[in-house]
Amino acid sequence: METMIVETLSDCEKAPSLGETKRCVGSAEDMIDFAISVLGRRNVAIRTTKNVNGSKQSIMIGSVKGINGGKVMQQSVSCHQKLFPYLVYTCHSVPKVRVYEADILDPNSKAKINYGVAICHMNTSSWNPNHGAFLELGSGPGRIEVCHWIFENDLTWTVAD
């Protein structure tokens, strides 16, 4: 319990990185206010992956839709649920992204087993060279874009389509 509280607090108190805006929020209203302030619009949308179906197994990607017509968005907001005695999310601005939503299918039955949201970070030039994505993919800062699923319980905010 102590470790969890200390980790969440230190994450909340950590200074934002260059050009980043961050806030720890304890209510939906706080989260919405933060998303609106970063995105600069009141018309915003929230997305997340629906459940954990398909993890650690083979899957098939069904229909894919690019949010904002698949175009790069200058700004988005990601929020991550933290372990704490009450509900806390750490939210931060994430610039230069493409966001996609995809049906995740069972490869055998072709049945839809999940709705997945994925995000692509288009400019990785300021990332740590030891970031797990670079180690995994054998690349480095600014040489590739990095895409990943938004985990269940994490949230991504964008200007509404």
**123 interacts with ligand NAG by CB under 6 A:** yes
User: Is-contact 123 95, C-beta < 8 A?
Assistant: yes
Distance CA 14, CA 24 (A): 11
Q: How far is the CB of 136 from ligand NAG (least distance, A)?
A: 21
8 contributes a contact to ligand NAG by CB under 6 A: no
The smaller minimum CB distance to ligand NAG, of residues 124 and 158, is found at 124
C-alpha Rg value of the chain to the nearest Å: 17
Q: Which of 124, 65, 67 is nearest to 99 (CA)?
A: 67
Nearest alpha-carbon partner for 44 in 152, 153, 161: 161
Does 153 engage in binding with ligand NAG (CB under 6 A)? no
Note whether 125 binds ligand NAG by CB under 6 A.
Answer: yes
Q: At 50, list the tokens.
A: 């629906």
Nearer to ligand NAG, 8 or 123 (CB): 123
Query: Smallest gap, in angstroms, from Cβ of residue 87 to ligand NAG?
Result: 22
Looking up tokens 């017509």, which residue turns up?
69
Measured from the CB atom, the residue of 30 and 106 that comes closer to ligand NAG is 106
Among 119, 117, 116, 130, smallest CA distance to 94 is for: 119
**33-72 binders of ligand NAG (CB under 6 A):** 50-51, 53
Kindly tell me which of 26 and 142 has the beta carbon lying closer to ligand NAG: 142
Binding site for ligand NAG (CB under 6 A): 50-51, 53, 113-114, 123, 125-126
